[in-house]
Amino acid sequence: MLDNRPLPAVGKCRPAPNVVAAAARLVKVNAIVHAHAGKETRPPPSEEPALHLAFVALGANLAEPMLQVQAAGAALAAQPDFRLLRLSSLYRTAPLGIHAQPDFIYAVAAIETSLQPAHLLEALFAIERQFGRQRNFRNSPRTLDLDLLLYDDLMLAEDHLCLPHPRMHLRAFVIAPLVEIAPDCRIPGRGYASAWLPALSQQRIEKLAR
């Protein structure tokens, strides 16, 4: 005979706490995966070094100075930390200070560089040494002279480096080629470079054919 008495109540089966926690984590992970489904995973962008615009004067009056200045332009273009943007025409000018020496050939280059000013100056000195530059005395004849004229809009006064170059606005052989390649160039603290040309009109300077 069947026993028709009701069965005793049985409590609900509850999962162990560690099983509940694991399930919750799985739900969270699934939600994250679903949210990013179909999206392309990209690596974080690498930081590129900041680039700066600088202007450099190139000059020589020894050892075939026209060839020296042209070769110096090529040396600037070959530097790993520079990118040569423009190189002006060549200009012939009389020497300053000591007149009993050959005329100078000058040009101005615009470069883009990641180097800071002091390191850029050292790189320019290294190129001068490659060309046999010797600093015997002020305004002496030279195989190559590289002067850092401008570095962005930076104004700097240190023992070995002043920016802008402190006498650039007084030199027709600097301002003329600078304005040729950068007509709207401003000299920090002195205004447009082109505005200085009338005051320099008495300085003898000859633009040479390329």
Question: Which sequence positions are flagged as catalytic?
Answer: 133, 142, 145, 147
Please report, for residues 29, 39, 43, 88, the alpha-carbon distance to residue 34 in angstroms, rounded to integers and kept in the order given.
9, 10, 20, 60
Strand 205-207, strand 191-192: pairing: unpaired
Range list of H helices, 10-159: 17-35, 65-78, 117-130
Distance CA 180, CA 164 (A): 18
Report the SS3 class of residue 63: coil
Q: Is the dihedral of CA 107, 113, 116, 118 positive or negative?
A: negative
Is residue 105 within 8 A of residue 66, CB to CB? The reply is yes
